[in-house]
A and B are shown apart, each in its own frame.
Chain A
Amino acid sequence: MSPTAVYLVTIFGLLIAVFTLSAGLIWYERRLLALFQDRYGPNRVGPFGLLQSVADIVKIFFKEDWVPPFADKPVFVIAPAVIIVATLMSFGVVAFAPGVMVSDLNVGLLFFLAMSSMGAYGVALAGWSSNNKYSLLGGLRAAAQVISYEVFMGLSLMGVVMMAGSFNLVRIVQAQERMWFFLPQLVGMAVFMVAGFAETFRIPFDLPEAENELVAGFHTEYSGMKFAFFFLGEYIGISLVSAMLVILFFGGWLGPVLPPLAWFFIKTFIFISFFILVRGSLPRPRFDQLMAYGWKVMLPLSLANLVVTAGILLWRRS
C-alpha cells in the first residue's frame, strides 16, 4: 500500500473504532454498574443486550432536533460540536502502535493539552447559549472545574517529559522499554488521573450535571443528537484519558507475545473499566471542596513532583 492509502485507512479506521468503542462503552458501563449493584442491566436487545447502543442511536436520530426559541441559536448548535471535535482531534496524535497513528507530532503531548483546553468552551457556551438558569450555572461550574484542573494536568505530565526528553508520544513510549513510568512517576500519574476524571465530568467530579441540584447542568435544554454529542463526548473523553494514561505511564503498546495493538487496547480497556468501577463506588463532593482540592492539594503536589523529578534526574546524571 502507498503511504497515502495507509494514512487514509488509519484516519477512517480510527474514527470508526472510536465511535464503535464509545457506543459500546455505554452498554459496557451499564452492564458493569448493574453487576456491581447486583441487577441485570440492559439484556433485551440482541445477545446480552449488546445491540442496546445501536437501538439508542437509531432512536436518537429520529428524535426532534429542537433548538429553543429563546436560545442563541448559532452558539447553541456549535457548542456540542466543539466538544466532539476537540476530543476527536486529540486522538489524532495518540500513538496506538508503531506506525499506527494519524500524525506523529513532535509536540504531541502539548497538542493533547491544547485540545483539552478547548473543552472549556463547549460547556461554557452550551450553558450560556441555552438561556436557562440551570444551564448557565451548570455551564459556569463545568468551565470553572475544567480550567481549575487543567493547570496541574499539564504540570503533572512534565515529570514524564523530563524522563523521556521529548513531547513526542512515540518517543515517550519508546523511553519506557526498560521501566514503565508509573513507578518513578507515581505522584504524576495519580494527579493526572484525578485531572482526567475532572476533565471528563465523571463521578466523583460530575458536579456540573449534578441532577439533584442543577437538573442536567449545561445540557438541560439539549435533546436529540446534540444531547447525544455531549453524552458520546464523555465516553470518547474517557477512552482518550485512558489511552493517554497507557501511553504516558504504562508503556503504551509495549508488552510480550501479543501484537502491539492488542496490548494497547487491553491496557486501555483496563483503565476504562477502572473509570466505571470508580463511578460505582464514590460519592460526589461539594463544589467548594472540589475547587479547594484542586488548588490546594493537586497544584502543589504536581509542582513538587516536577521539582523533585528534575532534581533526581540531574543528580543521577552528574
Chain B
Amino acid sequence: METVFYISAAIAVLSTLMVVTRRNAVHALLYLIVSLLAVAVILFVLGGPMVAVLEVIVYAGAIMVLFVFVIIVLNIGHEAVRQERQWLRPGNWIGPALLTGVLAAELVYILAGRAAGVASGEQVSPAALGASLFGPYVLGVEMASLLLLAALVGAYHLGRRTTTRQEQGSDGIDKR
C-alpha cells in the first residue's frame, strides 16, 4: 500500500508541474486529469474509497470535461500558445515561485517535526459518509443545492447572451 501511495504521489506532483509548464492548453488539461486521477488513488489508499471515486466522477469526469469543452469551443489556438510562451519567461514566474518555495519549506518543517502517524488504512464506509452528509451536515447540503440552483440560472443567462449575439445554427457552425 505504501508503495502505491508514493508512486501516485510522485505522479501527482510531476503531472501538476507539467500542467504549469505546458504551452498548449489541451496538453496542460490532460496532465491535470492525470494529476486528479493520481490524487484519487491517494485518497483510496488512505481509506476513503467513496471520496476517491467521487473525486474521479466530479473533478476528472465532470469539471475537467467542462474545461475541455470550453477550450475546444473557444478554439484558442496558436495565439494562446504564443501568449503562454510570453508568460512563462523567468522574469514573470520567479517571484511567485520563490514565495511558494518558502511556504513549501515551512510545510516540510512542520510536518517533519511531527510523529509519523498518517495512512492508518482505516476505511470510511460509503454509508457512514452518506449518514454524516445528510445528518449533522445537512444544512451544508441544502445550501449547496441553492448554490447550484443559482449557478444553473447564472450559467444559462451568461451563455445565452453569447449565443444570441453570435447568431448560430443548431449544428454548431456559424450560419451567417
- List, in ascending order, chain A residues with CB within 8 A of B18's CB: none
User: In the complex, are the beta carbons of B68 and A121 less than 8 A apart?
Assistant: yes
CB neighbours of A110 from chain B (8 A): 50, 53-54, 57, 126
Q: CB-CB contacts of A292-304 with B at 8 A, as 1s and 0s?
A: 0000000000000
Q: Contacts of A81 on B, CB cut-off 8 Å?
A: none
Q: CB distance B62 to A287 under 8 Å?
A: no
- Contact residues on B (Cβ < 8 Å of other chain), bracket: 20 to 34
Compute how far the CA of A110 lies from the CA of B24 in the bound complex, rounded to whole angstroms: 32
Complex-state Cα separation, A111 to B52, whole angstroms = 9
- A141 to B173 CA separation, bound complex (whole angstroms): 12
Closest beta carbon of chain A to B69's beta carbon, Å:
7
- Stretch with Cβ within 8 A of A (4 or more), from B25-33, B139-147, B157-165: B25-33
A72 surroundings in chain B (CB, below 8 A): 24, 26
Please determine whether A113 and B68 come into contact, CB atoms closer than 8 angstroms. Answer: no
Total interface residues on A, CB under 8 Å, equals: 34
**Which of the residues B26, B65, B73, B170 comes within 8 Å of A120, measured between beta carbons?**
B65
Instruction: Please give me the residue from chain B that is nearest to A137 by CB atom.
Output: B172
Which residue of chain A has the shortest Cβ distance to B62 in the bound complex? Answer: A117
Of all chain B residues, which has the CB nearest A109? Answer: B53
Contact A167 B27 (CB under 8 A): no
Smallest CB–CB gap between A167 and chain B, Å? 6
Are the C-beta atoms of A147 and B65 separated by less than 8 Å?
yes
Which chain B positions have C-beta within 8 A of A78? 30
Mark interface residues in B46-69 (1 if CB within 8 Å of A CB, else 0): 000110111011001110110011
- How far is B24's CA from A120's CA once the two chains are assembled, in angstroms? 20
Say if the beta carbon of B168 comes within 8 Å of chain A: no
B86: A residues at CB distance < 8 A: none
Residue of A nearest to B66 (CB): A147
Chain A residues within an 8 Å CB radius of B69: 124, 140, 143
Return the contact of B56 from the options A117, A121, A129, A141 (Cβ within 8 A): A117
Given contacts A120-B65, A287-B170, contact A140 B53 (CB under 8 A): no
A106-B126, A110-B53, A137-B172 given; A120·B61 CB < 8 A? yes
Given contacts A75-B27, A106-B125, A287-B170, contact A114 B68 (CB under 8 A): no
Q: Are A106 and B49 in contact (CB under 8 A)?
A: yes
Task: Provide 18 A-B residue pairs closer than 8 Å at the C-beta atoms, listed in order of the A residue.
Answer: A74-B27, A78-B30, A106-B125, A114-B57, A117-B57, A117-B62, A121-B64, A124-B72, A125-B26, A128-B68, A129-B26, A136-B72, A137-B173, A140-B69, A140-B172, A167-B126, A287-B170, A287-B171
Known: A107-B50, A117-B60, A128-B26. 9 other contacts (CB 8 A): A74-B27, A107-B53, A117-B62, A128-B68, A137-B173, A140-B73, A143-B69, A167-B50, A288-B170
A interface vs B, CB < 8 Å? 72, 74-75, 78, 105-107, 110-111, 113-114, 117-118, 120-121, 124-125, 127-129, 136-137, 139-141, 143, 147, 150, 154, 165, 167, 213, 287-288
Query: Contact residues of B with A, CB < 8 Å?
Result: 24, 26-27, 30, 33, 49-50, 52-54, 56-57, 60-62, 64-65, 68-69, 72-73, 123, 125-127, 170-173
